[in-house]
Each structure stands twice: as C-alpha cells, then as structure tokens.
Amino acid sequence: MSGCDYVLSFNSVGKSFRSGQSDIQALKNVSLQIAAGETVALVGPSGSGKSTLLSLGAGLELPDTGTIVLDGNELSSLNEDDRSILRNRVIGFVYQNFQLLPTFTALENVALPLEILGGARFSSIRRRALSALEEVGLSARIDHYPAQLSGGEQQRVAVARALVTHPKLILADEPTGNLDRANTQTVLSLMRELSSRHGASVVLVTHDEEVAATMGRKVQLRDGILT
C-alpha cells in the first residue's frame, strides 16, 4: 500500500477526553507528516499530548476530528481488527515501561509479533527472533524471563520486539525514561542504527534535549498544540 509519500500523517487532528464534568482537549488541530526514513523527536511538558499523539498514530484510539493516514490507510475507516493487523504489520512500538509479558522468555516475547503476523514456520520465527536479540546484544539471555533481566536489558528486549518485524515506523514513548545514562545511550544508538539499516521512520518521545538533538527533526507539543 505505498505510493504515498508519508508513512504517517495527521491532518487537523483533534482529540478530547471526558474527565468528570469537563472535557480535556488533549490535541488541538494537530497536523504532522512523517516521511519514510525520517527520525523525529517529539518533546513537550507532561500532559501536553505526546502519548495521545502516539496512540492515535498507532490506531489504538481514534481522533474526534481530522484524519490520520498510516501507510496509505485512513485509520477511522478501519474497524478495530483491521487497525490492529495494520499496526502489527507497519509499526514497532516501544513503551516506557517495556510492557514485556512476564511469563514469556525474552525469545518468546520477541517472537510474539511474528506469530501474530502469521504465515511463517516456527523455525523461521525462532531464527528471526534470535537474530533480533543478537542485534541488541542479548544472545546470552534468550531464555531469561523479564524479572531475571535488568531494566536496560528489558528495554533492549522491547526494542528487539519492536524491530523484529522490520516495521516501517517505530513509535517510542519515552523509551529511556527509566534507564540510566549508559543504558539510555545503548538503547538510543540501537534504535538509530537499526532504523537506518532497515530504513524505518522513528517518532521518539523524550524529555531529554540531548537525546532530541540526535534526531533528524524536533517537534514540540504544548497544551495539545504542535509548535
């Protein structure tokens, strides 16, 4: 489904949440285009709408107004099942708190997106998951459960899981927020290196100006408005 210039575009997007008696306008008339291979830092104070923007881009939620086009598909025109199929095919999501399955080993966590994609043999899924874990330097930890891994190692597993399908777009919501300086550098350089090797676009939410400066472009949200 290509032929479109952007892997993801937000066109005059508005999103509000009901909170008690009032509505919170989390995003106001946001337009943003992410080109193929582009790396974008998304910065802004807490509560400015960064996570909401990523959730909408991934089709986890739908906008109230405006349109969002992911890999040529207008998200509001798809049902929930089709959005999750599209998400799993196009996007690798890296969460701040890793979101690894605790009863799955590192290898099983990384294999999961490939199993959901379907159409591949177990042996091929295992080979690709092993190779993704090797790329993040965790070949020696494949049979460890998340609780047996350090925070930095868990986040590297989460990066391997996000990249194992070779997504066109990596969405990362403060992926280094819980990591120390050394692990932050490791995880970021991995994401950059793997994205440039596979030609993926990246949208990275960060509070860290130094981290933002390593991305190709920086966009800022303030009270739901993109500046």
Position 178 contacts Mg ion (CB under 5 A): no
Helix (H, G, I), strand (E, B) or coil at 57: helix
Its sign, for the CA torsion 213, 201, 185, 54, is: positive
Binder of ligand ADP out of 7, 34, 41, 48 (CB under 6 A): 48
Binder of Mg ion out of 11, 16, 25, 51 (CB under 5 A): 51
Stretch of residues binding ligand ADP (CB under 6 A), selected from 4-12, 16-24, 99-107, 210-218 = 16-24
* Alpha carbon distances (Å) from 10 to 40, 52, 65, 67, 175: 14, 12, 11, 6, 22
Rounded to whole angstroms, the Cα distance separating 216 from 227 reads 16
Strands (E) located in 38-123? 39-43, 65-70, 73-74, 91-94
Position 96 contacts Mg ion (CB under 5 A): no
Binder of ligand ADP out of 51, 67, 84, 214 (CB under 6 A): 51
Binder of ligand ADP out of 43, 44, 149, 171 (CB under 6 A): 44
Closest contact distance (angstroms) between CB of 179 and ligand ADP is 18
Residue with tokens 């959005």: 83
Position 52 contacts ligand ADP (CB under 6 A): yes
Interface positions with ligand ADP (CB under 6 A): 17, 19, 24, 26, 44, 46-52
